[in-house]
Structure 1
């Protein structure tokens, strides 16, 4: 009788309503449980969170370290003088005092709770990678370390049109080179991201596994009827943050072309744009005033609400930046596959989403090709009018690829 393998997950956050990164973290953690591993989670979420059948331990912030006092002194100075010195300090030290204190807090908790686990997985969110930094200070554990890299790092390594160079980028690049050379294993949500990061950190090409965002089904989520959604209408949904390179203008202009060609559809069609869109806020508000068939949320919409909607709408939309490559696997991709509704993919031809959907996937074009977008909406609308049951993604291969079964087969090679 074989015993369960023990996995220690060090996660920056497991609050699914906080960020898309936290959602992906929880999905992976739940998938590990379904693979019949014994899972312990150390998390730096600033509140107590429980996950079913998983030992979750909240990491406490160290409050007696030099970096803690320096971070508080910086806050007091900035509040009193109205001068922000964060960038200047990061250009000197690479990261903020808070970052270093958080890293120390995570490292101390790891030393305390490590119990000869078979594998240690570090999960981050956004652009911090605090758990990865913490692990660098624990060389005795590097032989069991799998560093999960969800996005390019630092920011200046993002493909165009992303062009932000952050403070302390040289030190950040050195930090991540150490991660690539120290972790026995690395993992990426997409094949293209592994290849992309391997250009800058060649060791990742040797140690890298591809572990996609998991199709971990969430149950017992609270849900109330929504006044902006009518299940009897042909509804297209884009849910997620609209960063500057992810312009919604091509989509909305294409939607307008479709409505102009099919005015009779106005009474039974709706386009939902949910999530933060600060850069496009005024543009979206102007569209919202003039297009009755468009609904734009006022900022953030909860994960529960979006997750339920993805299963009820007619079409789910994925928007990616206009670029020659998009190596990212969108965090919502597994949920869109699970929803089993056609995905309208607006992005570059060379992208992980397109790689998975396939070169011959029909409902694809670039984000600024409004005419083509209108044609695709029209085609999907006609199918909806004719036989709603035909509006299905029907990709069992992707369901398997994003499943715990596939995850277990990958992890068996290292655990």
Structure 2
């Protein structure tokens, strides 16, 4: 069987490793991939457009394509592949806007009664500024586009608000993503991520996870693509699960049907658990990174079979079995990420690292591993408790060294 995985991070390396564990005889292809994916499959080069990628898949008789990165979804990769009769896991373009267009997502939530924080939408800088002048509470300012997961700025006063608005709407820090902004009520509480699979009929949640998005400890500094995760999330109690299913999952499912946005793929709920209930902050329409790197080591079920039963509508409900353990992921990054950082640093200790771990931004040159991106490695610890998983992960982290290495020391605390 030939499987193509689209993306270049730790998530794609994790998907590949899990598939190989489930079916060792599988042939894996990655576009564009990284140094880790190159060790377990073949990285595809010299492709520039979705159409060329589709041609490659057709010519190479690829049986199944899994979209890892949201970038491809917004380039209509699923629509293109389906038009050529190719099997692909992911939402078509109209459904992918639930992630790619925050304004569309907010309208969808509002229309179908999905509980979400209060918000206002602005296309004009001055009107946004006037609104903030009258605001007495902390807010989140979000770009309309996703901006690689970095287009959310939390502000606590008018000076921070003006600085944030200037960077988004005047300096165009996030490009066209910032042509419109959402100013959203800032909620106090605990975040949770619920990655789920959607088989066109039902949304089946995975275990809960807690993502650490900020670059600094105690959730300070700039937003990143994620600096670590723990599974399960201790704040997802039975009562919170019931609240989530009633006020977020079920109305989302209803909306997907009524808007004709059904697809075969993944949907991720970014939640805030407050004293007044659970709220939806955002949708993602693919597997979370680094959440899925933390989830896969606990998944007992065959991931390939889960995908196939979803894609071929073999079952209305998919049962996913999990180990009764906990996991902790620590992301090792290049100092300076998510802004300026240096690459090309030699990584030492990788050869002695025990599984599970995933390559996010590294490549092998002349027998040596070197850094090639902002997020470099995902180190995973698995144990009977979060504390044990955390200790194992950080013990493994001590074995890795490279110049300008940075990681958060509070993942799982």
Same-fold status (TM-score > 0.5): no
Question: Looking at CA atoms only, which structure, 1 or 2, has the larger radius of gyration?
Answer: 1
Greater strand fraction, Structure 1 or Structure 2: 2
| Structure with the higher helix share, 1 or 2 | 1
TM-score (norm. length: structure 2): 0.28
TM-score by length of 1: 0.28
